[in-house]
Amino acid sequence: MKIGTKVIHGGLSPDPATGAIMTPIYQTTTYHQPRPGEHQGYEYSRSKNPTRDALEKNLAAIENGKYGLCFGSGMAAIDAILKLLNPGDEVISTGDLYGGSYRLFTQVFEKFGIKFHFTEMNDFSKLDALVNEKTKLVWVETPTNPMLNLIDLNKAAHFAKKHNCLLGVDNTFASPYLQNPLDFGADIVMHSATKYLGGHSDVVMGALVVNDEKLAEKLYFIQNSSGAICGPMDAFLVLRGIKTLHIRMQRHCENGEKVAEFLNNHSAIDNMYWPGLVNHPNHEIAKSQMRGFGGMVSFNTIDDNYDAAKKIVSNVKVFSLAESLGGVESLCGHPASMTHAAIPKEEREKNGIKDSLIRLSIGIEDAEDLIADLKQAIEL
């Protein structure tokens, strides 16, 4: 099955109880048991719920994996991965990553004795020095948030395997339409389903997909024990969102290209970051592992002028200045004060996140209107 068919049918079948074509919202906490220990596969909705179950199967199908697990947010999904570790274990992570992930690593899990190393991942031979027998997880965002660096997934998988570590990939920016990390040897693929999967900025959710049965069992144990599940209404909304993922992503990519080209040629803009540009340092990696270049674009104002950046994000009219990404509507963000404020300034700037950096989530409106909006805000 190809992706356009999989998003609509993958892992799904008509509701066995009624024949309903669209998965019903099973808004129930519990299920009748005719006799103790006898049930139809569902006992209590923290453990299993038919609407969540359908979404988990659909997600597994579109990520080319076997097992899907959904959580109450992207952070809850990453939290579940980290709970696979023990005190003393170590993690190697991309230095450029979502500020909330950095905060979870350094302010929640370091307290429990897990050590994190943040590093660039453009040369894996340099990373051997960070590995020891306690290293258990390699954590990769690709494309990274917000600098849109690409990590070579084949090389990351090879590195993780060589050192007996799990490779976890945050695939939020690409979505399963553009990239399937499990195909490259990742052990766990993670999504903030809040973004492209939901696609309409109306639900917060996280997801994991894996191939290995034992790993799936361990993650299911954590999902059920810690209880950071998503509700059935949210599962329904994301199931519905996924049905148009392929169409939306095509438009996100087309608009991303047009906006990137406009900004790239504008004299008030410096340092465009969009993996589809031939002069993007990781363009070749993008071509080798992604099926398109996505709708996320970051850039600096010329001379790193913070006032100019503030002026742009305050004066857009079609774009909204807001956190988040991946919805049908275009958003702009100021990472240093918003999504990445949890990262200390010095650490942030080491990874290129200057005060002059603006991040755009290009929606699926008409590109001409998006470009006209940016033009008026830049030239005001």
What DSSP element (H or E) covers 168?
strand 166-170
**Inter-residue contact 124 to 77 (CB < 8 Å):** no
Nearer to ligand P1T, 12 or 343 (CB): 343
Looking at residue 373, its amino acid is D
> Residue 26 gets which letter from DSSP?
-
Helix axes 306-315, 367-379, angle to 10 degrees: 130
Pairwise CA distance, residues 171 & 166, whole Å? 15
Nearer to ligand P1T, 15 or 323 (CB): 323
Binding footprint of ligand P1T on the chain (CB under 6 A): 73-75, 98, 100-101, 141, 145, 170, 172-173, 192, 194, 204, 206, 323-325, 333, 339
With CA atoms as reference, report the closest residue to 208 among 230, 188, 193, 224.
188
Choice among 6, 52, 155, 195 that is catalytic: 195
Shortest separation between residue 252's beta carbon and ligand P1T, angstroms: 15
With CA atoms as reference, report the closest residue to 311 among 363, 351, 269, 272.
269
Shortest separation between residue 20's beta carbon and ligand P1T, angstroms: 28
Nearer to ligand P1T, 131 or 245 (CB): 245
Shortest separation between residue 113's beta carbon and ligand P1T, angstroms: 23
Q: Which residues pair with 170 in a beta bridge?
A: 141, 190
Pairwise CA distance, residues 146 & 334, whole Å? 10
Shortest separation between residue 97's beta carbon and ligand P1T, angstroms: 7
Pairwise CA distance, residues 235 & 50, whole Å? 10
Residue 118 has phi, psi (to 5 degrees) of: -105, 130
Nearer to ligand P1T, 90 or 141 (CB): 141
Choice among 31, 42, 46, 310 that is catalytic: 46
Per the annotation, the verdict on 44 as an active-site residue is no
Per the annotation, the verdict on 98 as an active-site residue is yes
Per the annotation, the verdict on 258 as an active-site residue is no
Per the annotation, the verdict on 102 as an active-site residue is no
**Inter-residue contact 374 to 347 (CB < 8 Å):** no
Nearer to ligand P1T, 192 or 298 (CB): 192
- Helix segments in the chain, DSSP class H: 3-9, 50-62, 74-82, 99-103, 153-162, 175-178, 213-226, 232-242, 245-264, 283-289, 306-315, 345-350, 367-379
Q: Which residue is nearest to ligand P1T (CB)?
A: 74
Shortest separation between residue 100's beta carbon and ligand P1T, angstroms: 5
Pairwise CA distance, residues 74 & 207, whole Å? 7
Nearer to ligand P1T, 145 or 211 (CB): 145
Shortest separation between residue 73's beta carbon and ligand P1T, angstroms: 3
Burial class (CB in 10 A: 0-12, 13-18, 19+), 36: exposed
Shortest separation between residue 222's beta carbon and ligand P1T, angstroms: 16
Choice among 98, 102, 196, 273 that is catalytic: 98
Nearer to ligand P1T, 191 or 280 (CB): 191
Pairwise CA distance, residues 129 & 111, whole Å? 24
Tokens of 222: 């954590």
Active site residues: 46, 98, 170, 195
